[in-house]
Amino acid sequence: MGKRRVVVTGIGAVSPLGNDAETSWNNAVKGVSGIGPVTRVNAEDYPAKVAAELKDFDIETFIDKKEARKMDRFTHYAVAASLMAVKDADIEINDDNAPRVGVWIGSGIGGMETFEKQHETFLNRGYRRVSPFFVPMMIPDMATGQVSIILGARGFNSCTVTACATGTNSIGDAFKVIQRGDADVMISGGAEAPITRMAFAGFCANTALSTNPDPKTASRPFDKNRDGFVMGEGAGIVVLEELEHALARGAKIYAEIVGYGATGDAYHITAPAPEGEGGARAMSMALEDGGLKPEDIGYINAHGTSTDYNDKFETMAIKKVFGDQAYKVAVSSTKSMTGHLLGAAGGIEAIFTVLSLKHGILPPTINYETPDPECDLDYIPNEARHREIQAAISNSLGFGGHNATIAFRKYEA
């Protein structure tokens, strides 16, 4: 039996650019920044002053308040985005198909906010006052768990934790579940709510965050004056479906997912391997898996964190894989607008990549003002570009040396 074809039939998102996928996409195309002064922590306590937070998000729009109280914010985001994605896919999960509908949603750090609050309660009031929901609220797999419970999806069920590569690894792994025949539908992506006191402190301590106090210009991937990433929050979820299953029910199809590459640097706990060696192998794997050549790719949604090493080494990795074609392919980092959603980044960026294929619009890298001689590719500076493309890839690179790439192409019967 040959590889089963897999398509994207639903999308759902909550992001700093909007509380649904359509609004997030429209703002990305317009070059709108979702970054502002940080409010979830006291900015006076930290060198970083800005973050990419959700605005006016209300989980009670989606689920009952009593149930919501048993979940951390990262699970709220996953549930909301998943419900929207399933609604967008217009698929009913029932007793007949539930065993063939799976969920694979990852989170880089899980319920950090819950951990902090409950630890404070433990120190001040003892173990008897710690919530009985503490552990199931905190653990990263609970986004997958709650989504499957709420939707009644009883199929393949898992969770990936690969730092900032989490969302992309999750979608890639879910793609393979369908491709090999273990499910017909997978609800997949990433969710993160990392803007908490300890998480903010940790990233400040390792000097990963931008200390630029101006929200409008703090996230500036590939720009010579970049000084670190801006922490973001949210969730990006896609519904992946076996092609014949989708066609049989008359589903709309955004794009086809065709390739997946995942590698390890085996180099350093936070720094990428020199010249982006591991990232290059992940891109090559995704292209080979999808039967694609470098010249087939019209757009790369880069990891592009706005940190010195990432942007330089990812640029080098693209050159290694694409050769002379590297200067012809359009590359952008939507983190210039969303900030870095850590484990959710790959989910949001997969959605943007799919919509680029569908609409023929490539989102920009905003705040690109001063070219860096070491970052000399076409980063779609500051304004979106209308261009019909046939295939695209999305990259994610994570602490621990995790590299992941997924490849999409326009759906053709």
Domains of the chain, CATH where assigned: 7-248 (3.40.47.10), 260-409 (3.40.47.10)
Pairing mode of beta strands 234-242, 157-158: unpaired
Element (H, E) at 356: helix 345-359
**Confidence (pLDDT) at 413:** 82
Per-residue CA distances from 193 to 74, 171, 202 (Å) = 5, 19, 14
Residues 326/332/336/337 CA torsion (nearest 10 deg): -170
- The question of whether 164 is a catalytic residue gets the answer yes
**Confidence (pLDDT) at 336:** 98
* Cα–Cα distance, 362 to 356 (Å, whole number): 5
Q: How many residues does the chain have?
A: 413
In 3D space, the residue among 404, 338, 354 whose CA is nearest the CA of residue 12 turns out to be 354
For residue 360, count CB atoms less than 10 angstroms from its CB and return exposed for 0-12, middle for 13-18, buried for 19 or more.
Answer: middle
In 3D space, the residue among 166, 27, 158 whose CA is nearest the CA of residue 107 turns out to be 166
Q: Which residue has the tokens 């799976």?
A: 102
* Cα–Cα distance, 68 to 48 (Å, whole number): 30
Query: For residues 396 and 189, is the Cβ–Cβ distance under 8 A?
Result: no
Give 122's contacts (C-beta < 8 A, 6+ positions apart): 129, 130
Q: Residue 234 phi/psi, 5° resolution?
A: 140, -160
**Confidence (pLDDT) at 1:** 56
Cross-strand pairs, 101:
185
Name residues of the chain where pLDDT drops below 50.
none
* Cα–Cα distance, 9 to 90 (Å, whole number): 9
pTM for this structure? 0.98
* Helix-strand-coil split of the chain, %, nearest 5: 40, 20, 40
**Confidence (pLDDT) at 2:** 78
**Confidence (pLDDT) at 252:** 97
